[in-house]
Protein backbone atom coordinates (compact mmCIF):
# COMPACT_ATOMS: atom_id res chain seq x y z
CA UNK A 1 0.00 0.00 0.00
CA UNK A 2 1.54 3.29 -1.08
CA UNK A 3 0.91 6.25 1.20
CA UNK A 4 1.99 9.87 1.09
CA UNK A 5 2.91 11.26 -2.32
CA UNK A 6 1.31 9.78 -5.43
CA UNK A 7 3.49 8.92 -8.41
CA UNK A 8 3.03 10.63 -11.74
CA UNK A 9 1.23 9.20 -14.72
CA UNK A 10 2.02 10.22 -18.30
CA UNK A 11 -1.25 11.30 -19.86
CA UNK A 12 -2.17 13.53 -22.74
CA UNK A 13 -3.84 15.98 -20.41
CA UNK A 14 -0.60 16.22 -18.43
CA UNK A 15 0.79 13.82 -15.84
CA UNK A 16 -1.02 13.56 -12.55
CA UNK A 17 1.08 14.72 -9.58
CA UNK A 18 0.38 14.87 -5.89
CA UNK A 19 -2.52 17.28 -5.76
CA UNK A 20 -4.04 19.28 -8.62
CA UNK A 21 -0.82 20.83 -9.98
CA UNK A 22 0.64 19.67 -13.30
CA UNK A 23 4.24 18.79 -14.17
CA UNK A 24 6.11 18.26 -17.37
CA UNK A 25 8.19 15.10 -16.81
CA UNK A 26 6.37 11.88 -17.80
CA UNK A 27 6.71 8.71 -15.73
CA UNK A 28 6.31 5.60 -17.93
CA UNK A 29 5.28 3.16 -15.15
CA UNK A 30 3.79 3.79 -11.75
CA UNK A 31 2.48 1.54 -8.98
CA UNK A 32 -0.50 2.94 -7.17
CA UNK A 33 -1.76 1.45 -3.94
CA UNK A 34 -5.32 2.61 -3.62
CA UNK A 35 -8.45 2.71 -1.56
CA UNK A 36 -8.94 0.95 1.73
CA UNK A 37 -12.66 0.38 1.41
CA UNK A 38 -14.68 -1.97 3.59
CA UNK A 39 -11.44 -3.52 4.77
CA UNK A 40 -10.20 -4.22 1.20
CA UNK A 41 -7.13 -2.88 -0.61
CA UNK A 42 -6.89 -2.35 -4.33
CA UNK A 43 -3.46 -2.40 -5.96
CA UNK A 44 -3.29 -0.99 -9.50
CA UNK A 45 -0.47 -0.61 -11.96
CA UNK A 46 -0.85 2.55 -14.05
CA UNK A 47 1.35 2.64 -17.13
CA UNK A 48 1.54 4.05 -20.64
CA UNK A 49 0.20 7.15 -22.25
CA UNK A 50 -3.30 8.40 -22.94
CA UNK A 51 -6.00 10.19 -21.06
CA UNK A 52 -6.40 9.69 -17.35
CA UNK A 53 -9.51 7.64 -17.98
CA UNK A 54 -7.75 5.47 -20.61
CA UNK A 55 -4.84 4.72 -18.28
CA UNK A 56 -7.13 3.80 -15.39
CA UNK A 57 -9.44 1.74 -17.62
CA UNK A 58 -6.49 -0.18 -18.99
CA UNK A 59 -5.11 -0.84 -15.49
CA UNK A 60 -8.44 -2.15 -14.22
CA UNK A 61 -8.94 -4.30 -17.30
CA UNK A 62 -5.47 -5.84 -16.89
CA UNK A 63 -6.13 -6.53 -13.20
CA UNK A 64 -9.25 -8.52 -14.14
CA UNK A 65 -7.55 -10.26 -17.06
CA UNK A 66 -4.60 -11.26 -14.90
CA UNK A 67 -6.85 -12.69 -12.19
CA UNK A 68 -5.89 -10.20 -9.47
CA UNK A 69 -9.49 -8.98 -9.43
CA UNK A 70 -11.60 -12.13 -9.24
CA UNK A 71 -15.23 -12.47 -10.39
CA UNK A 72 -17.62 -10.93 -7.86
CA UNK A 73 -15.00 -8.75 -6.14
CA UNK A 74 -16.43 -5.38 -5.16
CA UNK A 75 -14.43 -2.36 -6.30
CA UNK A 76 -14.00 0.79 -4.20
CA UNK A 77 -16.61 3.51 -4.67
CA UNK A 78 -15.38 5.81 -7.42
CA UNK A 79 -15.10 8.74 -4.96
CA UNK A 80 -12.69 6.76 -2.75
CA UNK A 81 -10.60 5.55 -5.66
CA UNK A 82 -10.48 9.04 -7.15
CA UNK A 83 -9.31 10.53 -3.85
CA UNK A 84 -6.59 7.93 -3.41
CA UNK A 85 -5.29 8.26 -6.98
CA UNK A 86 -5.58 12.04 -7.14
CA UNK A 87 -7.94 11.83 -10.10
CA UNK A 88 -11.18 13.63 -10.76
CA UNK A 89 -14.27 11.75 -9.62
CA UNK A 90 -15.74 11.91 -13.12
CA UNK A 91 -12.60 10.27 -14.52
CA UNK A 92 -13.02 7.22 -12.29
CA UNK A 93 -16.79 7.15 -12.78
CA UNK A 94 -16.35 7.25 -16.57
CA UNK A 95 -13.75 4.45 -16.42
CA UNK A 96 -16.15 2.29 -14.39
CA UNK A 97 -18.97 3.04 -16.82
CA UNK A 98 -16.81 2.07 -19.82
CA UNK A 99 -15.87 -1.25 -18.25
CA UNK A 100 -19.48 -1.93 -17.31
CA UNK A 101 -20.45 -1.35 -20.94
CA UNK A 102 -17.71 -3.73 -22.10
CA UNK A 103 -18.85 -6.43 -19.69
CA UNK A 104 -15.79 -6.39 -17.44
CA UNK A 105 -17.75 -4.94 -14.49
CA UNK A 106 -21.33 -4.88 -13.27
CA UNK A 107 -23.06 -2.13 -11.35
CA UNK A 108 -26.27 -2.39 -9.36
CA UNK A 109 -27.94 -0.05 -6.96
CA UNK A 110 -27.05 -1.08 -3.42
CA UNK A 111 -24.48 -3.63 -4.57
CA UNK A 112 -21.79 -1.32 -5.86
CA UNK A 113 -19.47 -2.02 -8.77
CA UNK A 114 -18.17 -5.57 -9.04
CA UNK A 115 -16.09 -7.68 -11.38
CA UNK A 116 -18.38 -9.51 -13.77
CA UNK A 117 -18.50 -13.30 -13.88
CA UNK A 118 -18.68 -12.99 -17.67
CA UNK A 119 -15.27 -11.37 -17.61
CA UNK A 120 -13.83 -14.59 -16.18
CA UNK A 121 -15.34 -16.55 -19.07
CA UNK A 122 -13.75 -14.16 -21.53
CA UNK A 123 -10.38 -14.60 -19.87
CA UNK A 124 -10.70 -18.41 -20.02
CA UNK A 125 -11.45 -18.22 -23.72
CA UNK A 126 -8.44 -15.94 -24.30
CA UNK A 127 -6.13 -18.37 -22.48
CA UNK A 128 -7.38 -21.60 -24.09
CA UNK A 129 -4.29 -23.63 -25.08
CA UNK A 130 -3.23 -23.94 -28.69
CA UNK A 131 -3.57 -27.22 -30.57
CA UNK A 132 0.05 -28.03 -29.86
CA UNK A 133 -0.27 -27.16 -26.16
CA UNK A 134 -3.45 -29.23 -25.84
CA UNK A 135 -1.89 -32.26 -27.51
CA UNK A 136 -3.75 -31.93 -30.80
CA UNK A 137 -7.22 -30.96 -29.59
CA UNK A 138 -7.86 -29.04 -32.77
CA UNK A 139 -6.95 -25.65 -34.14
CA UNK A 140 -9.82 -23.58 -32.79
CA UNK A 141 -12.28 -25.71 -30.82
CA UNK A 142 -12.35 -25.05 -27.07
CA UNK A 143 -13.21 -28.19 -25.11
CA UNK A 144 -16.50 -26.85 -23.84
CA UNK A 145 -18.03 -30.20 -22.82
CA UNK A 146 -16.58 -32.45 -20.13
CA UNK A 147 -17.47 -36.12 -20.55
CA UNK A 148 -14.43 -37.44 -18.69
CA UNK A 149 -15.36 -40.21 -16.27
CA UNK A 150 -15.16 -40.06 -12.49
CA UNK A 151 -16.17 -36.45 -11.95
CA UNK A 152 -19.53 -36.01 -10.22
CA UNK A 153 -21.28 -32.69 -10.74
CA UNK A 154 -20.31 -30.58 -7.69
CA UNK A 155 -23.61 -28.69 -7.91
CA UNK A 156 -25.32 -31.73 -6.38
CA UNK A 157 -23.43 -31.64 -3.11
CA UNK A 158 -26.10 -31.63 -0.32
CA UNK A 159 -25.02 -28.37 1.31
CA UNK A 160 -28.04 -27.82 3.53
CA UNK A 161 -28.15 -31.38 4.88
CA UNK A 162 -24.37 -31.45 5.34
CA UNK A 163 -24.46 -28.19 7.27
CA UNK A 164 -27.23 -29.52 9.50
CA UNK A 165 -25.16 -32.63 10.24
CA UNK A 166 -22.12 -30.49 10.98
CA UNK A 167 -24.06 -28.42 13.50
CA UNK A 168 -25.44 -31.47 15.27
CA UNK A 169 -22.14 -33.34 15.26
CA UNK A 170 -19.97 -30.45 16.42
CA UNK A 171 -22.42 -29.53 19.17
CA UNK A 172 -22.51 -33.07 20.53
CA UNK A 173 -18.79 -33.82 20.08
CA UNK A 174 -16.70 -34.27 23.23
CA UNK A 175 -13.85 -31.84 23.82
CA UNK A 176 -11.24 -34.47 23.01
CA UNK A 177 -12.59 -34.67 19.44
CA UNK A 178 -10.78 -31.41 18.74
CA UNK A 179 -7.44 -32.74 19.93
CA UNK A 180 -4.90 -34.93 18.15
CA UNK A 181 -7.20 -37.91 17.81
CA UNK A 182 -7.02 -41.63 17.05
CA UNK A 183 -4.97 -42.54 13.96
CA UNK A 184 -7.69 -45.05 13.05
CA UNK A 185 -10.17 -42.18 12.73
CA UNK A 186 -13.05 -40.91 14.84
CA UNK A 187 -14.86 -43.75 16.55
CA UNK A 188 -18.23 -42.12 15.74
CA UNK A 189 -17.52 -42.47 12.02
CA UNK A 190 -16.12 -45.98 12.28
CA UNK A 191 -19.24 -47.09 14.13
CA UNK A 192 -21.52 -45.45 11.60
CA UNK A 193 -19.62 -47.00 8.69
CA UNK A 194 -19.62 -50.46 10.23
CA UNK A 195 -23.41 -50.34 10.41
CA UNK A 196 -23.89 -48.74 7.00
CA UNK A 197 -21.49 -51.01 5.10
CA UNK A 198 -23.00 -54.09 6.71
CA UNK A 199 -26.52 -53.02 5.85
CA UNK A 200 -25.93 -51.73 2.32
CA UNK A 201 -22.84 -53.54 0.99
CA UNK A 202 -22.91 -56.76 3.03
CA UNK A 203 -19.54 -56.04 4.65
CA UNK A 204 -18.75 -57.99 7.84
CA UNK A 205 -16.71 -55.89 10.22
CA UNK A 206 -16.44 -54.06 13.54
CA UNK A 207 -15.38 -50.44 14.11
CA UNK A 208 -11.98 -51.68 15.36
CA UNK A 209 -11.18 -53.06 11.89
CA UNK A 210 -11.90 -49.82 10.06
CA UNK A 211 -9.24 -47.19 9.37
CA UNK A 212 -10.30 -43.78 8.04
CA UNK A 213 -8.18 -42.50 5.16
CA UNK A 214 -7.93 -39.38 3.01
CA UNK A 215 -9.63 -41.08 0.07
CA UNK A 216 -9.27 -44.39 -1.77
CA UNK A 217 -5.83 -43.53 -3.17
CA UNK A 218 -4.51 -42.95 0.36
CA UNK A 219 -5.92 -46.32 1.37
CA UNK A 220 -4.14 -48.00 -1.51
CA UNK A 221 -0.85 -46.29 -0.61
CA UNK A 222 -1.11 -47.60 2.94
CA UNK A 223 -1.73 -51.14 1.75
CA UNK A 224 1.16 -50.89 -0.69
CA UNK A 225 3.47 -49.99 2.19
CA UNK A 226 2.24 -52.84 4.38
CA UNK A 227 1.66 -55.65 1.87
CA UNK A 228 3.88 -54.47 -0.99
CA UNK A 229 7.31 -52.93 -1.30
CA UNK A 230 10.62 -54.57 -2.14
CA UNK A 231 10.16 -57.24 -4.79
CA UNK A 232 6.41 -57.61 -4.30
CA UNK A 233 4.19 -58.52 -7.25
CA UNK A 234 0.50 -57.74 -7.38
CA UNK A 235 -2.04 -58.79 -9.97
CA UNK A 236 -4.26 -56.03 -11.36
CA UNK A 237 -7.00 -55.89 -13.93
CA UNK A 238 -5.72 -55.35 -17.47
CA UNK A 239 -7.94 -52.26 -17.69
CA UNK A 240 -7.82 -49.95 -14.70
CA UNK A 241 -6.71 -46.56 -13.42
CA UNK A 242 -3.18 -45.64 -14.57
CA UNK A 243 -2.92 -43.53 -11.43
CA UNK A 244 -3.28 -46.61 -9.26
CA UNK A 245 -0.62 -48.49 -11.21
CA UNK A 246 1.77 -45.55 -10.89
CA UNK A 247 1.03 -45.31 -7.17
CA UNK A 248 1.92 -48.97 -6.71
CA UNK A 249 5.07 -48.63 -8.80
CA UNK A 250 6.21 -45.74 -6.59
CA UNK A 251 5.80 -48.06 -3.59
CA UNK A 252 7.99 -50.70 -5.22
CA UNK A 253 5.15 -52.99 -6.28
CA UNK A 254 5.39 -54.65 -9.69
CA UNK A 255 1.98 -55.18 -11.29
CA UNK A 256 1.00 -57.91 -13.75
CA UNK A 257 -2.20 -57.60 -15.81
CA UNK A 258 -5.08 -60.08 -15.68
CA UNK A 259 -7.47 -60.22 -18.63
CA UNK A 260 -11.01 -58.86 -18.16
CA UNK A 261 -14.17 -59.73 -20.07
CA UNK A 262 -17.90 -59.17 -19.61
CA UNK A 263 -17.78 -61.18 -16.35
CA UNK A 264 -14.94 -59.17 -14.84
CA UNK A 265 -11.37 -60.29 -14.22
CA UNK A 266 -10.44 -63.81 -15.31
CA UNK A 267 -9.20 -64.75 -11.86
CA UNK A 268 -8.51 -68.34 -12.85
CA UNK A 269 -5.35 -66.96 -14.47
CA UNK A 270 -4.01 -65.22 -11.35
CA UNK A 271 -0.30 -65.86 -10.79
CA UNK A 272 0.25 -67.96 -7.70
CA UNK A 273 3.31 -65.96 -6.68
CA UNK A 274 1.41 -62.64 -6.49
CA UNK A 275 1.13 -61.23 -2.98
CA UNK A 276 -2.18 -59.51 -3.68
CA UNK A 277 -4.76 -58.85 -6.37
CA UNK A 278 -6.51 -55.50 -6.86
CA UNK A 279 -10.06 -55.84 -8.19
CA UNK A 280 -13.17 -53.72 -8.81
CA UNK A 281 -15.72 -56.54 -8.37
CA UNK A 282 -18.88 -54.43 -7.95
CA UNK A 283 -18.40 -52.66 -11.31
CA UNK A 284 -15.23 -53.41 -13.23
CA UNK A 285 -13.51 -50.15 -14.00
CA UNK A 286 -13.66 -49.02 -16.72
CA UNK A 287 -15.19 -51.79 -18.86
CA UNK A 288 -18.25 -52.34 -16.64
CA UNK A 289 -20.01 -55.36 -15.21
CA UNK A 290 -19.73 -57.12 -11.83
CA UNK A 291 -17.37 -59.99 -11.11
CA UNK A 292 -19.23 -63.25 -11.82
CA UNK A 293 -20.27 -65.27 -8.76
CA UNK A 294 -18.08 -68.23 -9.70
CA UNK A 295 -15.09 -65.93 -10.08
CA UNK A 296 -15.78 -64.30 -6.73
CA UNK A 297 -15.55 -67.70 -5.07
CA UNK A 298 -12.47 -68.54 -7.15
CA UNK A 299 -10.51 -65.46 -6.12
CA UNK A 300 -11.21 -66.15 -2.44
CA UNK A 301 -9.99 -69.70 -3.02
CA UNK A 302 -6.82 -68.30 -4.62
CA UNK A 303 -6.20 -66.06 -1.57
CA UNK A 304 -6.67 -68.94 0.87
CA UNK A 305 -4.41 -71.33 -1.02
CA UNK A 306 -1.59 -68.84 -1.71
CA UNK A 307 -1.77 -66.64 1.38
CA UNK A 308 -2.43 -63.66 -0.87
CA UNK A 309 -4.63 -60.67 -0.10
CA UNK A 310 -7.65 -59.54 -2.13
CA UNK A 311 -7.93 -55.74 -2.37
CA UNK A 312 -11.55 -54.86 -3.13
CA UNK A 313 -11.90 -51.36 -4.58
CA UNK A 314 -15.64 -50.75 -4.18
CA UNK A 315 -15.69 -48.46 -7.20
CA UNK A 316 -19.25 -47.28 -7.95
CA UNK A 317 -20.61 -49.96 -5.63
CA UNK A 318 -23.52 -47.79 -4.49
CA UNK A 319 -24.68 -46.79 -7.98
CA UNK A 320 -26.50 -49.68 -9.65
CA UNK A 321 -29.53 -49.23 -11.88
CA UNK A 322 -30.78 -52.26 -13.81
CA UNK A 323 -29.64 -55.11 -11.63
CA UNK A 324 -30.02 -56.47 -8.14
CA UNK A 325 -27.51 -55.14 -5.61
CA UNK A 326 -24.15 -56.89 -5.70
CA UNK A 327 -22.76 -57.42 -2.22
CA UNK A 328 -19.17 -56.93 -1.23
CA UNK A 329 -16.66 -59.65 -2.05
CA UNK A 330 -15.28 -59.07 1.46
CA UNK A 331 -18.25 -60.96 2.92
CA UNK A 332 -16.88 -64.25 1.55
CA UNK A 333 -13.70 -64.01 3.63
CA UNK A 334 -13.11 -60.92 5.80
CA UNK A 335 -9.70 -62.27 6.87
CA UNK A 336 -8.33 -62.40 3.33
CA UNK A 337 -9.92 -59.21 1.93
CA UNK A 338 -9.24 -55.50 2.37
CA UNK A 339 -12.27 -53.41 1.40
CA UNK A 340 -11.62 -49.86 0.08
CA UNK A 341 -14.31 -47.17 -0.18
CA UNK A 342 -14.75 -43.41 -0.24
CA UNK A 343 -17.28 -40.60 -0.67
CA UNK A 344 -15.59 -39.14 -3.76
CA UNK A 345 -18.44 -40.20 -6.08
CA UNK A 346 -21.39 -40.20 -3.69
CA UNK A 347 -20.65 -36.82 -2.07
CA UNK A 348 -17.52 -35.02 -3.19
CA UNK A 349 -13.81 -35.71 -3.77
CA UNK A 350 -13.14 -32.42 -1.97
CA UNK A 351 -13.99 -34.03 1.38
CA UNK A 352 -10.97 -36.35 1.16
CA UNK A 353 -12.67 -39.09 3.16
CA UNK A 354 -12.30 -42.80 2.58
CA UNK A 355 -12.01 -46.00 4.57
CA UNK A 356 -10.27 -49.33 4.78
CA UNK A 357 -12.03 -52.38 6.20
CA UNK A 358 -9.16 -54.66 7.12
CA UNK A 359 -8.41 -58.19 8.26
CA UNK A 360 -7.76 -57.99 11.99
CA UNK A 361 -4.08 -58.86 11.56
CA UNK A 362 -3.40 -55.85 9.32
CA UNK A 363 -4.95 -53.07 11.40
CA UNK A 364 -1.94 -52.26 13.58
CA UNK A 365 0.45 -52.37 10.61
CA UNK A 366 -1.72 -50.03 8.53
CA UNK A 367 -2.07 -47.62 11.46
CA UNK A 368 1.72 -47.64 11.87
CA UNK A 369 2.16 -47.00 8.13
CA UNK A 370 -0.25 -44.08 8.38
CA UNK A 371 2.33 -42.40 10.59
CA UNK A 372 2.06 -39.17 12.51
CA UNK A 373 -0.75 -36.65 12.44
CA UNK A 374 -0.28 -35.03 9.01
CA UNK A 375 -2.05 -37.78 7.01
CA UNK A 376 -5.13 -37.77 9.25
CA UNK A 377 -8.46 -36.71 7.76
CA UNK A 378 -10.17 -33.71 9.32
CA UNK A 379 -11.88 -34.68 12.57
CA UNK A 380 -14.69 -32.19 11.96
CA UNK A 381 -15.44 -33.70 8.53
CA UNK A 382 -15.37 -37.18 10.08
CA UNK A 383 -17.83 -36.13 12.78
CA UNK A 384 -20.09 -34.58 10.15
CA UNK A 385 -20.04 -37.68 7.95
CA UNK A 386 -20.78 -39.85 10.98
CA UNK A 387 -23.93 -37.86 11.69
CA UNK A 388 -24.80 -37.73 7.98
CA UNK A 389 -24.69 -41.53 7.81
CA UNK A 390 -26.42 -42.14 11.14
CA UNK A 391 -29.23 -39.66 10.43
CA UNK A 392 -30.07 -41.22 7.06
CA UNK A 393 -28.78 -38.24 5.08
CA UNK A 394 -26.22 -40.37 3.26
CA UNK A 395 -28.86 -42.91 2.19
CA UNK A 396 -31.07 -40.11 0.88
CA UNK A 397 -28.16 -38.55 -1.03
CA UNK A 398 -27.19 -41.85 -2.64
CA UNK A 399 -30.80 -42.54 -3.70
CA UNK A 400 -31.14 -39.03 -5.09
CA UNK A 401 -27.92 -39.28 -7.06
CA UNK A 402 -28.81 -42.79 -8.24
CA UNK A 403 -31.99 -41.39 -9.81
CA UNK A 404 -30.10 -38.48 -11.32
CA UNK A 405 -27.34 -40.63 -12.80
CA UNK A 406 -29.81 -43.16 -14.15
CA UNK A 407 -31.67 -40.39 -15.97
CA UNK A 408 -28.38 -39.15 -17.40
CA UNK A 409 -27.40 -42.66 -18.49
CA UNK A 410 -30.80 -43.33 -20.09
CA UNK A 411 -30.55 -40.09 -22.03
CA UNK A 412 -27.08 -40.97 -23.30
CA UNK A 413 -28.17 -44.43 -24.42
CA UNK A 414 -31.33 -43.12 -26.12
CA UNK A 415 -29.53 -40.35 -28.01
CA UNK A 416 -26.80 -42.67 -29.26
CA UNK A 417 -29.34 -45.32 -30.29
CA UNK A 418 -31.30 -42.75 -32.29
CA UNK A 419 -28.43 -40.88 -33.91
CA UNK A 420 -25.46 -43.27 -34.04
CA UNK A 421 -27.11 -46.71 -34.03
CA UNK A 422 -23.95 -48.48 -35.21
CA UNK A 423 -22.17 -48.05 -31.88
CA UNK A 424 -22.81 -50.35 -28.93
CA UNK A 425 -23.03 -48.98 -25.38
CA UNK A 426 -21.88 -51.29 -22.57
CA UNK A 427 -21.09 -51.19 -18.86
CA UNK A 428 -24.27 -49.28 -18.12
CA UNK A 429 -25.81 -51.31 -15.29
CA UNK A 430 -23.96 -49.29 -12.67
CA UNK A 431 -21.51 -46.45 -12.16
CA UNK A 432 -21.10 -42.94 -13.56
CA UNK A 433 -19.86 -43.79 -17.04
CA UNK A 434 -20.56 -45.96 -20.06
CA UNK A 435 -18.30 -47.52 -22.67
CA UNK A 436 -19.11 -46.72 -26.29
CA UNK A 437 -17.60 -49.58 -28.27
CA UNK A 438 -15.94 -48.64 -31.57
CA UNK A 439 -14.76 -50.46 -34.69
CA UNK A 440 -11.22 -51.76 -34.36
CA UNK A 441 -8.58 -49.15 -35.07
CA UNK A 442 -10.87 -46.12 -34.75
CA UNK A 443 -10.44 -45.13 -31.09
CA UNK A 444 -7.68 -42.56 -31.51
CA UNK A 445 -9.42 -40.90 -34.47
CA UNK A 446 -12.70 -40.73 -32.52
CA UNK A 447 -11.06 -39.09 -29.49
CA UNK A 448 -9.48 -36.53 -31.85
CA UNK A 449 -12.82 -35.92 -33.58
CA UNK A 450 -14.49 -35.40 -30.21
CA UNK A 451 -11.87 -32.78 -29.34
CA UNK A 452 -12.53 -30.97 -32.61
CA UNK A 453 -16.19 -30.82 -31.61
CA UNK A 454 -15.30 -29.45 -28.17
CA UNK A 455 -15.76 -32.68 -26.18
CA UNK A 456 -13.29 -33.89 -23.57
CA UNK A 457 -13.57 -37.69 -23.51
CA UNK A 458 -11.13 -40.56 -23.03
CA UNK A 459 -10.44 -43.75 -24.92
CA UNK A 460 -10.18 -47.21 -23.40
CA UNK A 461 -6.56 -47.52 -24.44
CA UNK A 462 -5.51 -44.96 -21.82
CA UNK A 463 -6.64 -47.39 -19.10
CA UNK A 464 -4.93 -50.46 -20.55
CA UNK A 465 -1.97 -51.91 -18.63
CA UNK A 466 1.22 -51.30 -20.65
CA UNK A 467 2.26 -54.96 -20.21
CA UNK A 468 -1.05 -56.34 -21.54
CA UNK A 469 0.33 -56.66 -25.08
CA UNK A 470 -0.68 -60.31 -25.42
CA UNK A 471 -4.22 -59.77 -24.12
CA UNK A 472 -7.23 -58.84 -26.26
CA UNK A 473 -7.53 -55.14 -27.08
CA UNK A 474 -10.81 -53.20 -27.25
CA UNK A 475 -11.53 -49.89 -28.97
CA UNK A 476 -13.99 -47.60 -27.23
CA UNK A 477 -14.76 -44.33 -25.49
CA UNK A 478 -15.17 -44.05 -21.72
CA UNK A 479 -18.01 -41.53 -21.50
CA UNK A 480 -18.68 -39.94 -18.12
CA UNK A 481 -22.25 -38.72 -17.93
CA UNK A 482 -22.21 -37.28 -14.39
CA UNK A 483 -20.11 -34.14 -14.82
CA UNK A 484 -21.78 -31.63 -17.17
CA UNK A 485 -24.29 -29.22 -15.65
CA UNK A 486 -27.80 -29.78 -16.94
CA UNK A 487 -27.72 -26.85 -19.36
CA UNK A 488 -24.64 -28.32 -21.08
CA UNK A 489 -25.56 -32.00 -21.10
CA UNK A 490 -27.75 -31.83 -24.21
CA UNK A 491 -25.15 -29.87 -26.25
CA UNK A 492 -22.45 -32.26 -25.00
CA UNK A 493 -24.37 -35.26 -26.32
CA UNK A 494 -24.98 -33.45 -29.63
CA UNK A 495 -21.26 -32.82 -30.00
CA UNK A 496 -20.42 -36.42 -29.07
CA UNK A 497 -22.84 -37.74 -31.68
CA UNK A 498 -21.33 -35.43 -34.30
CA UNK A 499 -17.85 -36.75 -33.52
CA UNK A 500 -18.98 -40.39 -33.66
CA UNK A 501 -20.85 -39.80 -36.92
CA UNK A 502 -17.75 -38.17 -38.40
CA UNK A 503 -15.63 -41.18 -37.52
CA UNK A 504 -18.21 -43.68 -38.77
CA UNK A 505 -18.52 -41.86 -42.09
CA UNK A 506 -14.73 -41.76 -42.48
CA UNK A 507 -14.55 -45.50 -41.78
CA UNK A 508 -17.16 -46.18 -44.45
CA UNK A 509 -15.42 -44.10 -47.12
**Which residue in 157, 165, 156 sits closest to 388, CA to CA?**
165
Q: What pLDDT score was predicted for residue 509?
A: 58
Q: What pLDDT score was predicted for residue 230?
A: 67
Distance CA 424, CA 405 (A): 19
Q: What pLDDT score was predicted for residue 270?
A: 93
Q: What pLDDT score was predicted for residue 257?
A: 95
- Structural domains in the chain, CATH included, are 29-126 (1.10.10.10), 145-152+396-508 (3.90.1150.10), 159-391 (3.40.640.10)
Distance CA 48, CA 51 (A): 10
Q: What pLDDT score was predicted for residue 41?
A: 57
pTM given for the model: 0.72
Give the N- to C-terminal CA distance of the chain in Å, as an integer: 66
Distance from CA of residue 342 to its chain's centroid? Answer: 13
Beta pairing, strands 264-265 & 210-213: unpaired
**Tens digit of each residue's pLDDT, the chain (509 residues):** 333 333 333 333 333 333 333 433 333 334 344 333 343 457 776 667 778 888 888 888 888 887 788 888 888 888 888 887 778 888 888 888 888 877 788 887 777 888 887 654 444 444 433 333 333 333 333 578 999 988 888 889 999 999 999 999 999 999 998 888 888 999 999 999 999 999 999 999 999 999 999 999 999 999 999 997 667 899 999 999 998 999 999 888 999 999 999 999 999 999 999 999 999 998 899 998 889 999 999 999 999 999 999 999 998 777 887 667 778 999 999 999 999 999 999 999 999 999 999 999 999 999 999 887 656 788 999 999 999 999 999 999 999 999 999 999 999 999 999 999 999 999 888 889 999 999 999 999 999 999 999 999 999 999 999 999 888 899 999 999 998 888 899 999 999 999 999 988 877 65
CB-based burial, 385-401: b 16+ in 10 Å, e otherwise: bbbbbbbebbeebbeeb
Asked whether the beta carbons of 209 and 330 are under 8 A apart, the reply is no
CB-based burial, 183-195: b 16+ in 10 Å, e otherwise: bbbbbbbbbbbbe
**Radius of gyration, CA atoms only, the chain:** 29
With 0-12 / 13-18 / 19 or more C-beta atoms within 10 angstroms meaning exposed / middle / buried, residue 336 is buried
Beta pairing, strands 105-108 & 112-115: antiparallel
Amino acid sequence: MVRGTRPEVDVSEGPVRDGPSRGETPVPRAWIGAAEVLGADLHLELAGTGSRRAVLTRALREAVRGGRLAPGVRLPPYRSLAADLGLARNTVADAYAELVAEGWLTSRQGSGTRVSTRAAASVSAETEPTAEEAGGRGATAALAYDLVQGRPDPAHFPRTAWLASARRAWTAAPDEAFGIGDPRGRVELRRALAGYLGRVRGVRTEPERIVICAGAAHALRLLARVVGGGEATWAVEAYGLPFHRALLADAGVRTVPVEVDEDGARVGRLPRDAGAVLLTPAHQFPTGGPLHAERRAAVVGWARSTGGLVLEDDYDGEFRYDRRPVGALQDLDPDRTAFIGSVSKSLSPALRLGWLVLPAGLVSEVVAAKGEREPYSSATEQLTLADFVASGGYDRQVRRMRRHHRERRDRLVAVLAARVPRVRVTGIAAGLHAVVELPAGTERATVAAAARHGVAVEGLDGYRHPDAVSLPRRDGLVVGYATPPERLYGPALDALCAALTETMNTTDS
